[in-house]
Chain A
């Protein structure tokens, strides 16, 4: 039904390249579909909704500069889902969609950059790790080494490096959960670590 109009409309998608960057569609399509699926739509329905969403977005005048496209698209899409929820009289509370918090990469980074306490909590969780786990985590996330490079630098086998990284991340998550309870900073940490 509606899919037909999406297909015909899709051809006009590129006419608006100057207004809606192509990359938005390729970059965010999968995420928006997954969000739709999260709220109970089938994969096919989610694809249709996302197609129509981008077609409608093409018609909009996006002349003003959008600083954080990911956040913009996700927020607009949540609004679309709420509209659909109401119009289709779907079960459940539409406010669940409203409250669904899925920050963009930029929002995560900005939050981290401005929230010293949050950084300290991650640092505390990291400091509790055994030295050998901290070492490989440091190499990967500070020095930017690939696992292969860590293997070459340390002399450990690939399996050992992989195990140490996995254990490190596992323990870090546990430590962060403990931090959350102990410090009662649920608001901050929920934002980062649901």
Chain B
């Protein structure tokens, strides 16, 4: 296989060859040239481009600092910073305090609780310190790693916060012919208003159509349920019907649509759907979008579901060795706790044991 100039110039190994950095890269490309002597001129042009670009960027360093007021001609473009609104992502909430509480929904409530003063109107510092901003364009796809949030502004000015372990792809014709995005995982959308081009989120088994609104979509491939929660405006839930889509439901504010994906996958049963009100804890914190504020809120959730959330947030793999432990239900809120603190707090309510080896955690009775 012969490489084009572009393919060579962007190839890390070829760059190492050009700057004589890695013996294995030098050996590889010498061997390549031996096998493809006809590629000599292509390789030479690519080498000139690599060296030319490197040297130009080094020599023009003084122009690289054109940051805040960077014009379209600036050499370097500062990564797009999200607006304050994009950083917070969620509509107004009152100032509130951080608290940690764990309760077993089955019986007892709360073994331990901690209360700390929290000064920010928006909880944001922790989220922002972990979140990285980006500005995808049409055709781009953005990925967030476990334990990471991504804040982005799409070409139409829609703000998106991507939860850990998620992927969002923007259509090739975004903001030109459509406003289609494709999501795996979870994201909070603050959609810019545009009646002419509806904003459509595609997830595995349905679509969410919005004009200008704020909503959260949770559609992890390894979760039993997929959810769309509406905080502002209106969205339509579109379910596939043959080759077209039908409007299953127009969600009202504070409603969420739930689709039971496991049932349809395992038993080939019809997709099971329902519409429920959103959940709020006793501090008026919306449960469905709490992750945007770096909060972990569990509302009567089984440990088998909590496991997935913890895995994404803390970059760990959790195995539950006991079925009875997997079925423990918890109601709890955490903020800024590490994985050990979370597990210990859960242990206080409904006891289980756990061992941790590196990133592997096993829970057992």
* A interface residues with partner B (beta carbon < 8 Å): 26-27, 29-31, 33-38, 43, 46, 102-103, 105, 108-109, 112-113, 119, 122-123, 126-127, 131-132, 134-135, 137-138, 140-142, 146-147, 151-157, 159-160, 162-166, 169-170, 172-173, 192-194
Contact = CB atoms under 8 A, between A and B. Distances in A.
A131 B20 CA distance: 30
Given A105-B18, A127-B75, A141-B57, A169 B52 contact: no
B252 interface: no
Q: Which of B15, B48, B58, B145 has the most C-beta atoms of chain A within 10 angstroms of its own C-beta? A: B48
B150 A155 contact: yes
Given A123-B56, A160-B136, A131 B41 contact: no
B12 interface: yes
Contact of B51 (A34, A46, A105): A105
B72 interface: yes
A116 to B, nearest CB: 8
B75 A123 contact: yes
Given A30-B37, A135-B76, 10 more contacts: A31-B40, A34-B39, A38-B37, A112-B51, A132-B137, A141-B53, A155-B144, A157-B143, A157-B169, A172-B53
Given A33-B37, A157-B167, A163-B139, A138 B10 contact: no
B175 to A, nearest CB: 14
Given A37-B37, A155-B132, A140 B77 contact: no
Name A's interface SS: helix
A172 B49 contact: yes
A165 B134 CA distance: 16
Interface stretch (B25-33, B213-221, B243-251, B341-349): B25-33
Contacts of A166: 6-7, 10
A134 B31 CA distance: 32
Nearest to B54: A141
B268 interface: no
Interface residues of B, number: 63
B49 A27 contact: no
B77 A138 contact: yes
Contacts of B137: 132
Lowest 10 A-B CB distances belong to which pairs?
A: A34-B37, A37-B37, A34-B40, A142-B57, A30-B33, A131-B77, A165-B10, A157-B141, A30-B30, A122-B56
Interface string B32-64: 011001111100110111111111111110011
A119 B134 contact: no
Given A30-B33, A142-B64, A156 B56 contact: no
A38 B39 CA distance: 9
Contacts of B54: 141-142
A21 B64 CA distance: 41
Nearest to B9: A169
A162 B10 contact: yes
